[in-house]
Chains A and B, each alone.
Chain A
Amino acid sequence: DGGITQSPKYLFRKEGQNVTLSCEQNLNHDAMYWYRQDPGQGLRLIYYSQIVNDFQKGDIAEGYSVSREKKESFPLTVTSAQKNPTAFYLCASNNLGDYEQYFGPGTRLTVT
């Protein structure tokens, strides 16, 4: 059945290392999004992509990079330039023209 998968569920890294979070969807959605959630805060948009090979910065893109080589995949790289990388990362997708976004289960990244 269709859905969004994010792996792994929990990820631990040492400070100074880049890490890539996976997001795959088989819903045939055009658009994909990456959000970050911190305690007591709402979801903040990192990057989004409305079409293959194109993506735009969200509100907090500094220290992150993405690629969209395939429609179903939108990996997020957290680079060593990200000052506070420890957070819960959520991937979402939808079709252009649809307002609801569908979310994956999330990846909790801990950097020490």
Chain B
Amino acid sequence: DQQVKQNSPSLSVQEGRISILNCDYTNSMFDYFLWYKKYPAEGPTFLISISSIKDKNEDGRFTVFLNKSAKHLSLHIVPSQPGDSAVYFCAALGLQGAQKLVFGQGTRLTINP
């Protein structure tokens, strides 16, 4: 049972435009959400996170939006740059009990010049 889903395996965006990556979750006990960026043959690197008590968090070109009622979050990258081409994973965490990250399948973002 996939508790965190990224339904778009890939996304292609022109350089300078906005990239929007989506993530849905099913477990209402998740309290905290993270986005990771991963290049091939490397470990993921943390990008940005959001607590369930917020609906938006911004860090430079990256903004994460959370819609708790829809159990949906999105990552906006603007403007998109060639170096943003990577696989992006969203992850969710319940703060009760063992704090284990649950990952989505990932979305491969390609920024075209």
Chain A residues close to B by CB (< 8 Å): 4, 6, 9, 35, 40-45, 48, 50, 56, 58, 88, 90, 92, 96, 99-106, 108
Which chain A residues lie closer than 8 Å to B104 at the CB level? 42
Known: A40-B9, A42-B106, A99-B34. A105 touches B89 (CB 8 A): no
Closest to A88 in B: B41
Chain B residues close to A by CB (< 8 Å): 4, 6, 9, 32, 34, 36, 41-46, 49, 89, 91, 93, 98-101, 103-106
Contact pick for A106, options B9, B43, B46, B98, CB 8 Å: B43
In the complex, A104 Cα to B45 Cα: how many Å?
9
Task: Write the nearest CB–CB distance from A78 to chain B, whole angstroms.
Answer: 18
Q: What are the 8 A-B residue pairs with the smallest beta carbon separation, nearest first?
A: A103-B43, A42-B103, A43-B103, A100-B46, A42-B105, A103-B44, A105-B43, A99-B32
